[in-house]
Amino acid sequence: MLQLQTYDLYLRVSHSPLAARQRALKSEILTTKSEFLKTSGQDQFAKWAKLRRSVDKGLADLECCDPFDAP
């Protein structure tokens, strides 16, 4: 009985649209952050600032759709 309930919970969480959105956001954030870390803030400031804003926005979006962060 417990295994069936656990499996049902797993299916609801892993196949939910929210989980898919979170995975896509995490992937996008990691890609952008790796490019951000490779960019020099002194030599390419405009690109560095744009990537920084993009990473910050992605992290904010990820926090907004976190179901476990509810007060």
Cα 36 to the center of its chain, rounded Å: 16
In a domain, 41, yes or no: yes
Check whether 32 has a pLDDT greater than 90. yes
Q: How many domains does the chain have?
A: 1
pLDDT over 90, % of the chain? 49
In a domain, 46, yes or no: yes
Angstrom distance (rounded) from CA 36 to CA 69: 27
**Higher per-residue confidence, 50 vs 68:** 50
Q: Is the pTM of this model over 0.85?
A: no
In a domain, 8, yes or no: no
In a domain, 7, yes or no: no
**Higher per-residue confidence, 65 vs 37:** 37
Angstrom distance (rounded) from CA 30 to CA 58: 10
In a domain, 10, yes or no: no
- The range of the structural domain enclosing residue 54 comes to 22-71
In a domain, 58, yes or no: yes
Check whether 31 has a pLDDT greater than 50. yes
In the predicted model, what is the mean pLDDT of residues 6-19?
Answer: 74
